[in-house]
Amino acid sequence: MISILHDKLQKTAEALRAARTSLVKEHGETVLSSVTIEQVFGGMRGVPALVCDTSSVSADEGLRIRNIPILELTDATPEEIFWLLVSGERPNAEELAALKDLFAPHYQIPSYVVDTLKAMPKDAHPMAMLSAGLMAMERESAFRKAYDAGAGKDELWKAMFEDSVRLIASMAGLAAAVYRVRFHGGSVIDAPAGEKDMSNAFAHMLGISNDPAWKDLVRLYLVLHSDHEGGNVSAMTSYVVSSALSDAYYSVSAAMCGLAGPLHGLANQECLRFIIDLEKQFGGVPTEEQLREYAWNRLNSGQVIPGYGHAVLRVTDPRFTAFYDFAEKHNINDDNVKLVQMIYNIVPGILKEQGKAKNPWPNVDAASGSLLYAYGMTEFDFYTVMFGVSRAMGLCAQMLVNRMMMSPIVRPKSLTIAEMQSKA
Active site residues: 264, 310, 365
Using the rule CB under 6 A, give the single segment among 243-251, 299-307, 371-379, 409-417 that binds ligand HAX: 299-307
Task: Give residue 51's identity as a one-letter amino acid code.
Answer: V
Closest CB to ligand HAX: residue number: 309
Of 159 and 271, CB closest to ligand HAX: 271
**Of 126, 231, 306, 388, the one binding ligand HAX by CB under 6 A:** 306
Distances (CA, A) of 30 to 23, 26, 45: 9, 9, 21
Distances (CA, A) of 260 to 2, 56, 357: 34, 22, 22
Q: Is 365 in the site for ligand HAX (CB under 6 A)?
A: yes
Distance CA 412, CA 416 (A): 13
Q: How far is the CB of 265 from ligand HAX (least distance, A)?
A: 4
Distance CA 291, CA 275 (A): 10
Of 143 and 294, CB closest to ligand HAX: 294
Of 5 and 371, CB closest to ligand HAX: 371
Give the count of residues interacting with ligand HAX (CB under 6 A): 20
**Of 62, 126, 265, 348, the one binding ligand HAX by CB under 6 A:** 265
Of 160 and 272, CB closest to ligand HAX: 272
* Nearest one of 100, 251, 242 to 169, comparing CA atoms: 100
Of 200 and 341, CB closest to ligand HAX: 341
DSSP 179-223: HHHHHSTT-PPPPPTT---HHHHHHHHHTS---HHHHHHHHHHHH
Using the rule CB under 6 A, give the single segment among 14-22, 87-95, 355-363, 415-423 that binds ligand HAX: 355-363
**Of 240, 311, 315, 410, the one binding ligand HAX by CB under 6 A:** 311
**Calculated CA dihedral for residues 385, 302, 305, 354, nearest 10 degrees:** -150
**Of 307, 318, 388, 394, the one binding ligand HAX by CB under 6 A:** 307
Q: Site residues for ligand HAX, window 147-206 (CB under 6 A)? A: none
Distance CA 164, CA 170 (A): 10
Q: Strand pairing partners for 55?
A: 65
Q: Is 359 in the site for ligand HAX (CB under 6 A)?
A: yes
Using the rule CB under 6 A, give the single segment among 81-89, 163-171, 183-191, 261-269 that binds ligand HAX: 261-269
Q: Strand pairing partners for 106?
A: none
SS3 state of residue 5 = helix
SS3 state of residue 47 = coil
SS3 state of residue 68 = strand
Q: Strand pairing partners for 63?
A: 57
* Nearest one of 66, 70, 56, 50 to 12, comparing CA atoms: 66
Q: Is 272 in the site for ligand HAX (CB under 6 A)?
A: no
Using the rule CB under 6 A, give the single segment among 25-33, 73-81, 303-311, 372-380 that binds ligand HAX: 303-311
Interaction site with ligand HAX (CB under 6 A): 232, 263-265, 267, 299, 304-311, 356-359, 363, 365
